[in-house]
Amino acid sequence: MKSCKAPDPHPLKPRLALPIGACDAHCHVFGPGALFPYGANRKYTPEDAPFEQLMALHDWLGISRAVIVQASCHGTDNSAMLDAIARSQGRYLGIAMVSGDESDAELERLHAGGVRGVRFNFVQHLGGRPICCVSSPCCGG
């Protein structure tokens, strides 16, 4: 299993101030693994980069809003992302990873928690593959 480098502990601040309301349109939270375990079938194991670290980075860079995209190493357990959204005081929304078996109630729970979309992972090195059948035109059939 691959491991990932930890986030840069000393990021450079932009020379120009970002505009008010600047938004990070794709970021992740990782763990902490002791509280939000990584998925058993993950393709990589990141170093923990939890909510507090993401919020500090955004504050340092001057980013006031963000969209947290569910990290594939957490699989369909969106708990770390939902926790970060809940603790962000309205700054963050999310994109969940789902299996397709979720009930309407679960989808409503995700929406109530700040999720506004779902991620379909087609990136092969992360274990994704198209969810269509082999005989369909999108899969070359």
pLDDT in tens, 20-76: 999 999 999 999 999 999 999 888 899 999 999 999 999 999 999 999 999 999 999
CA dihedral (74, 76, 77, 81) positive or negative = positive
pLDDT of residue 136: 42
pLDDT of residue 132: 46
- Tell me the pLDDT of the chain averaged across its residues: 87
Domain at 47, CATH number = 3.20.20.140
What burial letters (b/e) apply to 46-65, b meaning 16+ CB within 10 Å?
A: bebbbbebbbebbeebebee
pLDDT of residue 124: 60
How many structural domains compose the chain?
1
- Domain membership of residue 18 as a residue range: 2-139
